[in-house]
Amino acid sequence: MRYLLVLALCVVITAPLEFLGGRVYRKPVRTIKTVLPVAAVFLVWDAVAITSGVWALDPRRVSGVEALGLPIEEVLFFFVIPLCALLTFGSVEALLTASRRTGRPRARKERAP
């Protein structure tokens, strides 16, 4: 259950970034086209690694619910974390673009001694 809690916290913490310019939830088709291919590759990779014994998940840390032959937490990981990353990158990009438009000075690079 801890795994689900961590994933939920990731969503809750990054959700406000949508309002800072993340534009992930407002553009669901683009988001799905971005996340789904990557998630598919890593889900297959993960399934192969687990079934071949390369690694295992501690049953005390997962709910016991499975999807696609993997613990639901592992499946959700490959969707939640990319969503959080997209929100973060989109927000940073929007804030940098806005600061350039308003003429605010960017952080200066420090020169090496």
- Look at 5-9, 30-34, 64-68, 78-82 and tell me which has the smallest mean pLDDT: 64-68
> Which stretches of the chain are DSSP H helices?
2-14, 28-51, 72-102
Facing residues of 33 across strands? none
Which has more confidence, 61 or 24? 24
Task: Give the global pTM.
Answer: 0.80
Query: Residue 84 has what pLDDT?
Result: 95
- Mean of all residue pLDDT scores within the chain: 88
Whole-angstrom Cα distance, residue 95 to residue 101?
10
Query: Residue 109 has what pLDDT?
Result: 60
Whole-angstrom Cα distance, residue 68 to residue 16?
30
Whole-angstrom Cα distance, residue 97 to residue 31?
21
